[in-house]
Structures are given as structure tokens and as C-alpha cells.
Structure 1
């Protein structure tokens, strides 16, 4: 390094090491903080590096701090001139920002203690020589280590605070999850109570055994459009209605209720069974224009076992004889809200002692999206469980049918068995 004073405040530099040493010493004399000192040295040498590495000299002009400004600080001014540089220097991303000057030059104006201020001076104290480069570097290294220690302590403190915050958030999340689960359970209980109120218990009629199983598509919303009704007519016959209203939730429940209530009213008024599906559509069309529902109507004489059935777009009933023979009872017709609603005819058959009748909604047979396969599986399941106590049969059939559910849907399974037959194998 060749260092030749051009004037008391200008030096010429040919190496990065010499430039760094000069910058550190003048920053020390100006009373800059250690951090500002190494930021200044790093920034100036970064800008000058390309020129010095190419063998071209740079000039460093320094102006020591003058009288203190109104804020109590003077400014150290450092100008870097690179007269032989082919282009202007890049000044972005420097540790200490610089101002751009015309041509290949840059300037740093750094707040510093003014001459004569307490604790600093442009000259070294009497009797002491200027600090050596090693001392300055050790001071910077010590400051960097202290800074790192402070940052590590801050990082540890922030980690601790974050851990406490996360713990609090996790506890709050757990509380919210518990509250949500409590609300879901309460909601489910209310809906199940509503369902129980809407679904009448089996009628007790000598000669007939009746049972039903209902399974919602969603466990937390156990209400839907699959509904049933059964009651005894004045002549002693048992009337059964099975309804599957389009959709899920309370809206479909309301639609299904409208259908069962209308059917019950018409049946008790004595309307012929073959006309009730069409008449129900006429009654409900005036105030529920979006209602669509399939419906199946069954009349059973407990004494004779005579069975009469009407249908509106509903899946066929299944008849299981006491000896295990099965047969689907199909009646063509169109449901409530369908074009030309009504049952095309009445189907007549007879339940002999020990025979089992299975009525259901399509959620039982279409859980795998293939109704015909579902009907075959239903016949097998009903045959397997036909000798069980009547109150167990509907749930047992549903459990066997729902071993694989690809298309969950509300499900009603209703069974009627004529008493008096042998329940042996």
C-alpha cells in the first residue's frame, strides 16, 4: 500500500487492506461507535474493491466533524473518488448507505461526536499513540460478539414468549374444540329428540309384530326427509306410510311431515287407497311448490293377513315367506311433485303366519349406487335375520346392508311380521 497525502484530508490507496486501516483509524478519531465504524469500513471497501483489484488507485477524502448541530452531533464526511472507473459504482445493499455523486464517486455522511465533545477528540490523548489495527479489530470483534450475544438472548426470550403464546393459543383451541363438540352433541340431542317426537312408536295390534330402524346420513344432523307413519283405521286394518322427501335436513323433514299428515288425514276421512297419492299431491301443491317425495302406502288386515299396497315412485317392498322365499312387491306409480302423480294400480297379496314384510327407503339399497345389487343383498339379509326378535330385525338388516357405504343417505327400514308362524330354522 502506498499512502501519499495529497492534502491533510485526502489519501491515495492501492490496496483494500490499506483502505480498511485508514477508514478504521479515522472513524476511531471521529468518535464513531464500533458498529458504525465497521459498517463504514465494509461499505467503502465494497464500493472500491473492483477498482483496487483491477490495479487502479482510489482517493479517500475525509472531512472531520465540525461544530455540533442543533441535535448535538457533528458529521464525519467520507468521499470516495474512483477517477479511472469505467462506470458509476453500484451502491445498493451497503451496510451503511451512501449518497451518489456525479461521476464514479460516492459519499458517506456519518453522525459523529464533535471535536471537544465529552469522551471524544480528533486527536489522541497526550502520551498515547494511535490504536493499532489489531486493537481496533479486537474491539470490533468484541462488539460483534456482544451484539450476537444480545441477539441470541433476544431470540431466546422471543422463543420463550412464543412458546407461552403458542401454549395459550393451544389451550384456547382445545377449549374451543371442546365447546364445539359440546354444542354439536347438544344440537344432535335436540334433533334426536325432535326425530323421536316425529317418529311414532310401533302400533300394538294382535296378530302383527312391527319394528323400525332409522339412520341419518350425517350423525351430527340426525334429521332428514325419510319418514314413516302407522296407525289403525276404524275398521281395524293397519295403515303404514313410508315417505322419502327430496333433500336433507329440516327442510326435507318438513316436506315429509306434510306428506304423512296429509296421507293420515285422507285415510281417516275414508278416501280410497288408490286415490290417496294423487290426492295428497293436490292438497300439498297449493302451499309447497318445491315438494318432491316418493311414497308407499300399505294396508294390512291383522286377522286375515290381507295386504294392499299403493306406490308413488318408491322402491318396491320385500316379502319374505316363512320358508325363506323372497319376492319384490312392485307397483308402478309417480310420487308427490312428479308429473301425473298417483299409483297406477293397487297390489294385493297376503301375509301368512311367519311371513315378513320389509318396507324401506332407497338409502338402504343404494348405499353402493346399484339399486339392483342392493335389492339382491336386501333379500339375502332379510332371509338371514327373519327369525330374530322383530325389534332386532330392521337394525340387523341395515347393519349388513351398510358394511360398505359409497353413497350415504338417510335410511328407514321398517318390518312387519304376521304372528303365529313357527320361528324355527
Structure 2
């Protein structure tokens, strides 16, 4: 009499085979998803500057974190470049939307700001002209933005803001806070908008930190609380003489507390006292 194979053994074999197939499918799906995420991140990063300018007495660093939802490509950017007169231009901003169209529009805004900045030295005028330019192309999207111009010879920093998150500052003396300045509406909304300019002299050593809302705001984390937390962090970092790259990384790490799924960008300007920076420039022969 032939003995039949126990039913439970056959069932166990089938379960193992099925489990193996499912594991392979999950693994392949995860690999495909990871590839898609990496592709999205590469696309976003390709639209950011390869490097940032610096002069004696000023160290500049940036950090960027992509959106956490895979292919939700964000429109956050940062930028820094040398202007024809030797001053430095900086911008940071956030385009409405989270898709390839928003990312492409972000690239256009960033390059447009560079082009306009070479034609006028005034940050408010840069934003005004950029606003009119975006309205003329009738893209249907808008962007918040801050634009700054730094004068190495005097340590003067000029800034204008178009509906963007305010900057944070701190000095080596232990002072610090949120930059209080009037701001115009985001770019691409209203024609004829004017953007007030604030001027400050970075006479003492310290930090000036620009960021996007993905760093300081989350679903249950108010913007004010995020800005206050970053202010405390920046003040402590300046007191500990943290370098620009490390400070940018610390601010970006703090963004995880907001549980924000949006992308995020940070731009750090660490400055020496004007007198010390001027001494370095004179010693190096830089005018």
C-alpha cells in the first residue's frame, strides 16, 4: 500500500514557495521605489548651485533635504553668486506645488533672479523686476523668496523679502532673534508690487541664517515655535564657534522635529567682525 504524503507538508511547501515569490516581489518593488526616489532627488539637486561664493570674513554653507513622499519633488531652492561689482548675491525660496512642473519653475525663478541682479544693485528692485517677469510668462505658479546682497568692503547686508519665512540671526556676544522686516507679497501674484529693503551692518561676528518653511513648520508645529527653536540653536552654535557647514547640518536636523513632509533648504552666512574681515582682506590683497 502506497503511503500518501501528509497534507500539511504539501501545504507547508506551497506556503514557503508563495512566501518566497512574495518576498522577491516586495524586494523588487522596494528597489524600484528607491530608484524612483533617488531619481527625483537627483533631479532636484541638479537644479541647485554646484558651489557657493565666499570672501575673507564670510563663510557660506547650505543644506537641502528632499520631500519625504518619494516623487513629491519640491520647489525649494537656495543660491549664491558673485555680482559684477564684487558684492555677493544670495537667494532662497519656495515655489508653490510639489511636482516636476514646480521643480522646473523653481529653476527658472532662480536663474531669473541671477539675471535681474546683474542689472540692478537694489534687492527690492531685483524682486520687483522678477515679479513682473514671472507675471509676464503667465505660468500660474507663485514663489516666496528672500534676496540679499552682501558688500565685503563694508560688511553691509541688504535684504528684501517676498512673502518668505524671515531669517534668523545671532552674534558672538550672545544676542539673537528673528529678523523683523516688512515683506511684499510672493512673486507672481500682483503686478506693480514693491519690496522694501532692510540694510544692516554686520559689525560683530555672528550668523545670519535663511531657511524655507519646511525647516520650521509642520502639521502640528507652528511657524513661530520653529523659528524660536532655530534661533536658540543658532545662538548656541555661534557661542560654540561651530563652522558654517556644521551649523547648516544642525539646523536641517532640527527640521525633523516639525514632522514636515515638504522639502527644506537652509542657507548659512557666518561673518567675522567687520574690522577683522577688513584686516584679512588687506593681508590677502583683496580690495
The TM-score by the shorter chain falls in which range? 0.7 to 0.9
* C-alpha displacement of 1:381: 1.0
TM-score after normalising by structure 2: 0.84
Contact 1:311 1:342 survives alignment (8 Å): no
Q: CA RMSD in A?
A: 2.5
Contact 2:210 2:268 survives alignment (8 Å): yes
Tell me the equivalent position of 2:189: 338
Distance 1:289 1:379, change over 3 A: same
Contact 2:57 2:271 survives alignment (8 Å): yes
Distance 1:414 1:341, change over 3 A: farther
Listed as ranges, the matches of 1:11-26 within 5 Å are none
Distance 1:407 1:196 in 2: 19
TM-score after normalising by structure 1: 0.58
Q: Is residue 392 of structure 1 aligned with residue 246 of structure 2? A: yes
Distance 1:303 1:400 in 2: 34
Listed as ranges, the matches of 1:251-400 within 5 Å are 251-270=101-120, 272-329=122-179, 330-340=181-191, 342-367=193-218, 368-386=220-238, 387-400=241-254
Contact 1:312 1:343 survives alignment (8 Å): no
Contact 1:243 1:361 survives alignment (8 Å): yes
Contact 1:312 1:342 survives alignment (8 Å): no
Structure 1 unaligned spans of 5+: 1-149
Tell me the equivalent position of 1:209: 59
Name the SS of the counterpart of 2:235 in structure 1.
helix
Q: Is residue 172 of structure 1 aligned with residue 24 of structure 2? A: no
Distance 1:420 1:344, change over 3 A: closer
Report which stretch shifted further, 295-304 or 166-175.
Answer: 166-175
Distance 1:378 1:228, change over 3 A: same
Contact 1:316 1:331 survives alignment (8 Å): no
Tell me the equivalent position of 1:232: 82
* C-alpha displacement of 1:221: 4.0
Structure 2 unaligned spans of 5+: 277-287
Distance 1:416 1:293, change over 3 A: same
Distance 2:99 2:212 in 1: 16
Larger Rg: 1
Distance 2:139 2:44 in 1: 24
* C-alpha displacement of 1:419: 3.0
Aligned pairs, how many?
Answer: 268
* C-alpha displacement of 1:358: 0.5
* C-alpha displacement of 1:302: 1.8
Q: Is residue 419 of structure 1 aligned with residue 272 of structure 2? A: yes
Distance 1:163 1:341 in 2: 74
Contact 1:258 1:284 survives alignment (8 Å): no
- The higher relative CO (CA closer than 8 Å, separation ≥ 6) is in 2
Q: Could you give the per-residue CA deviations for residues 392-422 of structure 1, whole angstroms, max 9, x where no partner exists?
A: 00111232343x3344322111110113589
Listed as ranges, the matches of 1:392-411 within 5 Å are 392-402=246-256, 404-411=257-264
Contact 2:77 2:92 survives alignment (8 Å): yes
Contact 1:203 1:231 survives alignment (8 Å): yes
Distance 2:128 2:101 in 1: 22
Contact 1:334 1:341 survives alignment (8 Å): no
* C-alpha displacement of 1:300: 0.5
* C-alpha displacement of 1:334: 0.6
Name the SS of the counterpart of 1:240 in structure 2.
strand
